[in-house]
């Protein structure tokens, strides 16, 4: 089912100050699982806004924090500069604070359900760090991360993950994906990893490639992501509730 959505300018406080943001949620007002959606190096641009709405249409209350404080880097060179100049520690704090913002909203499930985090490219690496450095998230999805955390960071991840990569990606090559997979296996982490044959980096973005293969990979990965989050972001039942349900 695809929901009609409302999308709004948003913002919230974090340890380092105010974070500008963008939200989207189903318009019916029913509380939904919360997602923090982390952009790539283009920042909070129109594609990122559309991805926020995409998750709202799939039944989530989503927020995208502005990584670059109002700047929308233009062109590959400027985007790469802002990506590499980013204060990663501050960004991770701002992302974790987004989970608190969602929990405070009346449109987000507030009965003990965890919040999820999903990121693309730069945002995929930031999602990994947010999972590793905070306990704000109950599940995470990573798309073709181009920020590669130190392997020691991955050891701290406790939440289940789902990960998506194209086999023709030169930014996040298969050698990096296999090293990442090996590290997760070595630490005994719970994850799923999907490879999409013949597609490159940023395959969610139709502006990157108009081919049917890319479109199919994007649609399939989003279906998997939505199903994963709907399964994993359920309310946590107490022991008493579990016992009552068994009677």
pLDDT at 246: 40
Number of structural domains found in the chain: 1
Residue 40 near residue 94 (C-beta atoms within 8 A)? no
> Is 113 inside a domain boundary?
yes
pLDDT tens for each residue of 176-223: 999 999 999 999 999 999 999 999 999 999 988 889 999 999 999 999
> Is 168 inside a domain boundary?
yes
Tokens of 166: 């194209």
pLDDT at 111: 66
Tokens of 57: 């249409």
> Is 128 inside a domain boundary?
yes
Cβ density class 177-197: b for 16+ within 10 Å, e for less: beebbebbeeeebebeeeebe
Name the percent of the chain lying above pLDDT 70: 94
> Is 247 inside a domain boundary?
no
The CATH number that applies at residue 202 is 3.40.50.1820
pLDDT tens for each residue of 134-173: 999 999 999 999 999 999 999 999 999 999 999 999 999 9
Domain containing residue 51: 5-241
């Amino acid at each position: 089912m695809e929901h009609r959505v409302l999308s709004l300018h948003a913002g919230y406080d974090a340890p380092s100050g105010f974070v500008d943001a963008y939200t989207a949620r189903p318009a019916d007002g029913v509380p939904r699982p919360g997602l923090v959606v982390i952009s790539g190096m283009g920042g909070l641009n129109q594609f990122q806004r559309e991805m926020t709405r995409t998750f709202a249409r799939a039944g989530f209350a989503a927020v995208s924090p502005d990584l670059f404080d109002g700047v929308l880097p233009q062109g590959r060179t400027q985007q790469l500069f802002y990506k590499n100049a980013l204060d990663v520690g501050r960004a991770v704090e701002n992302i974790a604070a987004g989970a608190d913002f969602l929990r405070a909203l009346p449109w987000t499930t507030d009965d003990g359900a965890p919040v999820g985090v999903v990121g693309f490219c730069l945002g995929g690496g930031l999602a990994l760090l947010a999972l590793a450095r905070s306990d704000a998230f109950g599940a995470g999805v990573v798309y073709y991360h181009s920020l590669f955390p130190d392997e020691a960071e991955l050891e701290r991840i406790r939440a289940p993950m789902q990960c998506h990569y194209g086999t023709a990606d030169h930014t996040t090559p298969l050698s990096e994906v296999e090293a990442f997979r090996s590290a997760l296996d070595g630490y005994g982490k719970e994850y799923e990893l999907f490879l999409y044959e013949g597609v490159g980096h940023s395959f969610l973005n139709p502006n990157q490639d108009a081919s049917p293969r890319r479109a199919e990979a994007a649609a399939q990965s989003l279906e998997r992501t939505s199903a994963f989050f709907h399964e994993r972001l359920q309310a946590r039942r107490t022991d008493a509730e579990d016992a009552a349900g068994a009677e």
